[in-house]
Amino acid sequence: MEMNEVLDRLPRHLMDLVIDQPYNEYTTQDHAVWRYVMRRNVDYLRHVAHESYVDGLRQTGISIESIPHMYGMNRILKEIGWAAVAVDGFIPPAAFMEFQAYNVLVIAADIRPIDQIEYTPAPDIIHEAAGHAPIIADPEYAAYLKYFGRIGAKAFSSSKDYQQYEAIRHLSILKADPYTTKEDIEHATRELEEIEQNMGMPSEMSLIRNLHWWTVEYGLIGELDKPKIYGAGLLSSIGESYNSLQAGVKKIPYTLDAKDYSFDITTQQPQLFVTPDFRHLKRVLDEFVSHMAMSNGGLDGINKAIESGHTATCKWSSGLQVSGTFTDVITGGEQPVYLKTSGPTQLSYKNKELTGHGKEYHKDGFGSPVGKLKGINTPLRFLSDGDLQDQKIILNKPSILKFESGIVVEGIPVRILRKEGKIILVTFDDCCVQYNEKKLFEPSWGNYDMAVGDEINAAYNGPADANAFKLKFPVPKEKTHKIEHTESARKLHSMYKEVREIREKKMEGQENKVIKDVNRKVKKDEQDQLASIWEKIKSDYPGDWLLPMEIIELMNNGQQKSPTFEEIYTYLNDIKSNNPELEKVITNGLILAGVLENG
């Protein structure tokens, strides 16, 4: 992958999810699918999308005629401070959010098959590149997307969220493969439904994903009775972009209440939310952040860290950050008084791992009290050396620290670590920690490192210093299916290639146009070549509609129609009559080809 200054800032754990875009694996039919969807989208969306959409296509280097190459996109995206990477289908939500925080668009490398041309349940390059990329050319929206990524990456997930993610990924992979059996899809659907019916209380991640869905994916903007489209899911869905603005879809003013509206990715949405402007999106997100554990910490935040079952960070009021898998909390009343992790743990300050306090040193876990010392109003973190002596806490001499909670730490303090004038960590030798009759630490376990802080004022997903922690997002074991095309399909794709080459000759000199005009009359030998291809389609591929659509577009030169043109026109109308699900697709294609009048 070709790097640039934006991609150079990505942490190692995100790079593990990046793949090379398999550009040479796209068939000419894939490019035809891209072209059809993009021409239909731009033709409609330039009238109803947010004003930055069409200009954003130009600014982000997205071609209407062929699937964009990530290298080309990145050369242009870096001018607005962004980049794009290819990934293999759905990636973990926290990773997706974190990419956004680093100004990187995640683009699923696959493209939808022709039988899912209007809507696909799987992420694909049409959705990611043609949906997300154009709107980030708007600086205010790009800032919101980055901010959302930074917040979303710190949201706690539950164990059920991870199960749901894996089930959604599995189902989307099956549905995107045209050769998957109906039985396999039905089985995977039932498994997902069973998980979703037993999710329990919604996690922070599930709530913030709802906000993401109703803004970044399916958002409307402007006046409630006449909004414009800006959500990527709508901008990339040629069916739902039209339906979203119809009266049958309820329009609701966007507020924090949107977090309580779940969504179904397999069907069109019954309601959508309208923000008056992009600035309002940040105000709502700020309101959500004020309720998150990253802002409030406390026992609720600690419990969310424990329930997640994954690496999390709790921040003591001194600023010390403890990152690991939190497994236990001792409470006194409704307040946490002692906190424990299991397994490798990291201690940090201001997101930088403390020297000597990485996972290798704290490999068996970490535990520490939270709270004030008994009989003194000033928190321990603010005590000077003189104050410590007054409390009989003296380096290299036996000391006893009694907390208001009843926890007692007895040992020899050998190191006191201060940062910016505050005590954040005290290390004891020959130490015993006890709560009532329960031993929490014994001298035989080695030195005891005690976090300092009278409260936990923040808790969030992930480690404080991800690089030093050597964080890794597990690369999904199940890969998206690489379609093995039959010999018959490959012959069809070669005919798509022939037609494409004829069209490209007609479009020479139109490189700077968003929508190309196919207005040069094809030559006699090209007419004969197109007629020959049509004969093969009739005999070998009855039912293919997109290639005949491309042929009739090239033959539509405003003059007397050839017999081949008339035959293809009749053929396409017959397909519409016999396949109602293709009626809108073919009708709109004929309008784009100039064969039918719009309306």
The HSE-up count of residue 299 (CA atoms within 13 Å, CB side) is 11
pLDDT digits (tens, 9 = 90+) for 23-40: 999 999 999 999 999 998
- Which residues, at least 6 apart from 455, have a Cβ–Cβ distance to it below 8 Å? 297, 298, 316, 317, 370, 371
CA–CA separation, 238 vs 130, rounded Å?
Answer: 12
- pLDDT at site 467: 93
- 194 SS3 class: helix
Asked if residue 105 has pLDDT above 70, the reply is yes
CA–CA separation, 350 vs 330, rounded Å?
Answer: 26
pLDDT digits (tens, 9 = 90+) for 539-596: 999 989 999 999 999 988 766 688 999 999 999 999 999 999 999 999 999 998 888 8
* H or E element that contains 554: helix 546-555
Do the beta carbons of residue 452 and residue 425 sit within 8 Å?
Answer: yes
Residue 200's pLDDT band, with cuts at 50, 70 and 90, is confident
CA–CA separation, 37 vs 546, rounded Å?
Answer: 11
Q: For residue 168, give both structure tokens.
A: 């959604």
- pLDDT at site 264: 78
Residue 90's pLDDT band, with cuts at 50, 70 and 90, is confident
Q: Which residues of 160-181 are buried (b: 16+ CB within 10 A; e: fewer)?
A: bbbbbbbbbbbbbbbbbbeeee
- pLDDT at site 499: 95
Asked if residue 288 has pLDDT above 70, the reply is yes
Asked if residue 84 has pLDDT above 70, the reply is yes
CB atoms within 10 A of CB 5: 9
Identify which of 61-65, 158-162, 174-178, 222-226 has the greatest average pLDDT. Answer: 222-226
Residue 502's pLDDT band, with cuts at 50, 70 and 90, is very high
pLDDT, greater one: 1 or 29: 29
CA–CA separation, 312 vs 321, rounded Å?
Answer: 10
The pair phi, psi for residue 347, each rounded to 5°, is -110, 130
Provide mean pLDDT across the span 91-98. 90
- pLDDT at site 497: 96
CA–CA separation, 169 vs 157, rounded Å?
Answer: 17
**pTM as predicted:** 0.88
- Choose the weakest-confidence range: 89-98, 410-419, 517-526: 517-526
DSSP structural state of residue 513? -
Indicate the average pLDDT of the chain. Answer: 91
Burial (CB count within 10 angstroms: exposed 0-12, middle 13-18, buried 19+), residue 186: exposed
Q: For residue 49, give both structure tokens.
A: 């999308």
Provide mean pLDDT across the span 52-63. 84
CA–CA separation, 350 vs 98, rounded Å?
Answer: 18
- Choose the weakest-confidence range: 10-14, 54-58, 348-352: 54-58
pLDDT digits (tens, 9 = 90+) for 234-287: 988 877 888 899 999 999 999 999 999 988 776 778 999 999 999 999 999 999
- pLDDT at site 599: 60
Secondary structure of 88-153 as H, E, C letters: CCCCCHHHHHHHHHCCEEEEECCCCCHHHCCCCCCCCHHHHHHHHCHHHHCHHHHHHHHHHHHHHC
Do the beta carbons of residue 452 and residue 305 sit within 8 Å?
Answer: no
- pLDDT at site 520: 54
Between the CA of residue 573 and those of 455, 552, 579, what are the distances in Å? 71, 13, 10
- pLDDT at site 561: 81
Provide mean pLDDT across the span 161-175. 89
Residue 55's pLDDT band, with cuts at 50, 70 and 90, is confident
Provide mean pLDDT across the span 322-345. 96
pLDDT digits (tens, 9 = 90+) for 432-481: 999 998 999 999 999 999 999 999 999 999 999 999 999 988 888 888 88
- 228 SS3 class: strand
- pLDDT at site 524: 84
DSSP string, 312-361: EEEEETTSEEEEEEEEEEEEETTEEEEEEEEEEEEEEETTEEPTT-STTT
- pLDDT at site 59: 81
CA–CA separation, 492 vs 490, rounded Å?
Answer: 5
- 594 SS3 class: coil
Strand 250-253 relative to strand 271-275, pairing? parallel
pLDDT, greater one: 474 or 346: 346
- pLDDT at site 333: 82
Query: Whose CA is closest to 515, among 599, 591, 585?
Result: 591
Task: Give the whole-number percent of the chain exceeding pLDDT 70.
Answer: 96
